[in-house]
Structure 1
């Protein structure tokens, strides 16, 4: 079973209520719910939350909800610990597809393309993202960007994790599929400016 998990904790110190704040007319989390429901390679979709308000929005939009325990809703709780708990409650799940609600812009077929890529080889996990060439100022002598390989940064759009690594409490394994995502889909929402950026990008690049 390919199980999609949309993790949405109620507490957000940086941007209170962000998971259900309206983005282009829809609660933020609904964008991820709708993307998951359109994917053909997902067998089941659920929202993991500790918030009754988020749960209500998810259920209103036709998504299953699994409430978290208080321990998994704390500031110290990690996403992998949430997935571990879900894996124990839904043992038939073989692959876990994590969709962060704060990365709401996913073009058509992105989720299916990621799952297909993950299944194409003996991969432990997959993450969408981009190759960035950032270096701390003062750490190099005016190094040209083209001379620096850079590193792969995950953008939060799609993660695929095997049951094997989840059972070990690991967020990634030894054989990672780095799925390069288009730039307009790389943006995550952390603050007010991010909301404005995503609103414009989604209007400009959304497919009919």
Structure 2
């Protein structure tokens, strides 16, 4: 089966000048569409339609064919249908043509392949990428504003509401003309919200850059009556500071899930270190946080082996494994010979509600002092 990917990437973006070649996540924006097309299991050929010398250079360096776009097809009122039709090599017999816009950098190759597989399996003429965004919305009907819902419900109970993402349109080659890519048997393919970005504004560009640079975070923490549960509290406070939901692991042989309270964070029990290492090897976190009091050299070497590219950060680690961490925070101690160890009270993490308490006034003469140690 011959499947052609056509990537339209003209030079004249008015909203965001040079949009298709702007560096985002360390690569030009157009790179992500090129990469997905080249690494697809189904796409056999890739061509870019452009009037940009820079896009042409990037394409040629990545081994992608270039269709130089005529200026008549670069006007704002020209539909994408005409551009795609013009780019298709007519001397070849194509089964499907996949339109891939460079404005969706977060799309994963696996998602694209699943959509192509779905189109082929269902014998569809066309399939369009969409994202489900149910909201309480309104429309204008006969000059009046009317709701798009029958009953006001929380978002999770609203019926699906699909919006096209622009990431891809998969069309049977025989239905494509200069005025359409939509055949009689048309369906939609829902992509995850994280892959639904469509860059039209500078806010979109900033959000996409943030998403592409987003870290994959895991926390390993244990706490019990003997060790104390301050580690648990700190782990939950840390988890709130990331713009992702970290995977929070705990060893069922040391920690009962009840110590986490009613948190909605992602709690993941493991049965020993061996299982934790197996998961880490598969997940390849970019940041891994240990809050287990003391680490051994063997543990840290094992963790570094399965996460060679991760930044490993330990809290309150007075074990020999601390020398293998990228960063260690010991708020309870002062001074350390290790350069990666940060000590002192300024690194203490307290509950966020402390921000709203007025500090007490210390009496001039203090008669009694109560000292509470961790785990008390």
By the TM > 0.5 criterion, same fold? yes
Note the 1:56-205 alignment, pairs <5 A.
Answer: 56-87=57-88, 89-134=90-135, 135-136=137-138, 138-140=145-147, 143-145=151-153, 149-167=159-177, 169-204=179-214
Q: State the 4+ residue runs in structure 1 displaced beyond 4 angstroms.
A: 145-148, 205-208
After TM superposition, the structure 1 stretch with the greater mean CA deviation from structure 2, 66-75 or 128-137, is 128-137
Is this contact kept in 2: 1:87–1:163, CA < 8 A? no
Which consecutive unaligned segments of at least 5 residues does structure 2 have? 140-144, 217-282, 285-376
Q: Matched residue of 1:201: which SS?
A: helix
Which consecutive unaligned segments of at least 5 residues does structure 1 have? none
After TM superposition, give the deviation of residue 107 of structure 1 in Å: 1.8
After TM superposition, the structure 1 stretch with the greater mean CA deviation from structure 2, 19-28 or 107-116, is 107-116
Note the 1:5-24 alignment, pairs <5 A.
Answer: 5-24=6-25
Is this contact kept in 1: 2:47–2:87, CA < 8 A? no
Q: How many residues align?
A: 208
What TM-score do you get using the length of structure 1 for normalisation? Answer: 0.89
Would you tell me which structure has more helix in proportion to its own residues? 1
After TM superposition, the structure 1 stretch with the greater mean CA deviation from structure 2, 66-75 or 125-134, is 125-134
What TM-score do you get using the length of structure 2 for normalisation? Answer: 0.51
Distance 1:5 1:101 in 2: 10
Distance 1:92 1:142 in 2: 48
Q: Matched residue of 2:86: which SS?
A: helix
Deviations 1:2-43 (A, max 9, x none): 000110011011011000000011110011111111111111
Q: Matched residue of 1:109: which SS?
A: helix
Distance 1:68 1:90 in 2: 18
Superposition CA RMSD, Å: 2.3
Relative contact order: is structure 1 or structure 2 higher (C-alpha 8 Å, sep ≥ 6)? 1
**Which residue in the other structure is 2:301 paired with?**
none
CA gap 1:190/1:35 in 2 versus in 1, 3 angstroms: same
